[in-house]
Each structure stands twice: as C-alpha cells, then as structure tokens.
Amino acid sequence: MFAVIALALPWLLCLPLWITAVDLAPGTTLGAAAAAPSGPGDTDPGAVLAMLLPQMLVGLMMFAPSIAVLVAGRWVDGMPWRRLLVAVGLGTVRTQPGFPPARRGAARLIGVLALALLGTWAIAGAALVTAFLVSDARPQLAGSVFEALTRGEPLTVVVVAQLVGVVLGSFVNTVPAAGEEIGWRGYLQPALTARLGLVPGLVLGGVLWGAWHAPVLLLGYNFGLYDLRGVGLMCIACVLLGVWLGWLRGVSGSVWPAALAHGAFNAAAGLPLLFLPAAGEFDVIRAGPLGLAGWIVMAPLALGLVVVTRRAARRAQRRAADAALLGGITRADEHG
C-alpha cells in the first residue's frame, strides 16, 4: 500500500505539468533563468508562474512518501501514533534490520548528523572534481555562470554568498527532504531489509525511489531525457545515494541524519553549474552529480559501506550469541 500511494500521488500532483506540456530539461530551465529580465517592472507574472509552478509541485511531491506512511502505517497497519513515530525514526532510537545495534544518546546522534552533513558535502565536492575529468566541462570563469554572478560584486562577496547559501540551503532543504526520508528510509527501508536482507533491500528501495521521480523525469527533469532512459539513470543514482542515506539511517536508528544528508545533497548539487558557460549546454548525464561523475564517487562508497555494515552486523550477532551461551552456562551452574 505504501509503494502504491507513494508512486501514484506524484503523478496526480504533476498532472498540470503534463496537461500544459512543460519542458523541464535543465538546458531550457537554465536558459529561461538566464534570459529573465532583471528589472522588476518588466517581470511577466505569467512567466514567473511558469517558472515557479514546477518548483512548487516538485516540492509538494517530496511530501508524498510521508503521506503514504500515514495511510499505510496508521490506517492500514493500524499502528498507534507513538509506535509509528518510533518505527519511522522520528522518536526513540531503534536498531535497524541488517545493522549492528544502534547506540542511543544525544552525543551519538549529533555525531552522526555532523557526519551526514560533512560527508555529503564531500561527496558533492568530489563529484564536482570528477565532472571535470569525465566530461568536456572545464572549470572556467570567463563566460561562466559564476562570472555572471560577480558582475558588479566583489569576488569574495560572491564566493562567501555561495558557500553560505549551500550551508543554509542544507538545513532549509532538510524539511522537504524529511518528507521523502520518512517514507523511503524511515518506513520502507526497515521493511525491505527485514524481509529481503541488507543489500536487496537497499537496492530495491533505491529503485523505487528512482521510479518515484518518473512524473518529472519524463518531462526532461534532471537529465534532459523524455523516455525511460532518464528513469533508469535516476534509479542507478538513487540506489547509490540511497546506500549512503540508508547507512546513516541504520547506524543512527533515526531518520534525521538521512534527511539532513538529503537536504545537503540537494543544496550542493548545483555547484558544477557555476563554472560552466552561461550560454552553453551542460552534459548532466556525464557531469551531473546524479550522472556518471556522481556514480564514480558514490559506487565505491556504497560498496565500502555495505561491506563494513555486514561485518559489523556479523560481529554483533556473534557477541550476542556468545553472551546468550555464557548466560545459559551460568544459569545451568547456578541450578547445578
């Protein structure tokens, strides 16, 4: 029931985009932004609405998984509110299937939150560097978006503004990101990993997360493609990124580190655009953070996290088995 609602509701929300045949390809979006009049008196309300409507609908889409959780968890599964909040990672820390026991305490949670933030920024930064290695894009200032931003402004001011924007955006984006993460990592991931195991659960969860983007991907969003190729590319990206978010959920027992990391990734994902020609086309399939550049960074990270997690889970199981055996021997000696 959760998957049906989570995947169907975005189609309903995006129906206006399909009726009006909006083109959401990155090139067209950037072109409209670059050509937008700078004078407030020349702003066309219709053009502003045309640019804002897709953003608003995509923002609303991000809360669809949480709505699916409410329907599936509260009214289908019949879980009490307190139990549901704990189950999706909004309440008390709870050990996740496939992961070693999650340690409680505010200091532990704060540490994982810091790791989520800094680690995601590192992933975005590494993807930016990789983009210049695997594509025709080259870091440049002449004729770039970054140069356009510095016109009339000191370079230091623009750089600081961009960095502050990424930091603040990471926290602001956490709110809509939590709308997704409560569903994907909070509700779905434990259910899948408990039934299928760690790796199949993470992979299937990532595929469903990627397919969830289909209503906008098929309109050119993210990759500039208008068929199932865009959905396939997003599924690969979501599987890889989903391992990082799922690992944060698993080791913390809370959904908030995953939500913060998701928000931070969304805030930093546009950094490569600053160093690309303002009037040129951006090869998002190779140079985008969700494309090849991002895959190269996230694939070894995902593999390493899976290996480390499985080893830690096996060690925890052996310790629990040894403790149970020792407890049985002790009780037998007491009764002997």
Domain boundaries, the chain: 2-335
How far apart CA 83 and CA 90 sit, in angstroms, is 10
* Predicted pLDDT at 32: 41
* Predicted pLDDT at 129: 87
Determine contact, residues 87/185, Cβ cutoff 8 Å.
Answer: no
Q: Which residues contact 307 (CB under 8 A, 6 or more apart)?
A: none
User: Which residues are paired to 144 by β-bridges?
Assistant: 277
φ/ψ (deg, to 5) at 225: -110, 155
Q: How many residues does the chain have?
A: 336
* Predicted pLDDT at 141: 55
* Predicted pLDDT at 48: 56
pLDDT along the chain (336 residues), means of 10: 94 93 72 38 54 86 96 87 90 89 88 96 92 73 56 64 84 96 96 96 97 96 93 98 97 96 91 58 82 96 96 86 66 58
CB neighbourhood size of 16 (10 A) = 11
- Verdict on whether the full-model pTM lies above 0.95: no
Q: What is the DSSP letter of 42?
A: G
* Predicted pLDDT at 147: 58
* Predicted pLDDT at 139: 59
Dihedral class, residue 288 (left if φ above 0, else alpha if ψ from -120 to 50, else beta): beta
Q: What is the DSSP letter of 144?
A: B
Amino acid identity, residue 130?
T
* Predicted pLDDT at 39: 41
Q: Tell me how far apart the 2 most distant CA atoms of the chain are, in Å.
A: 92
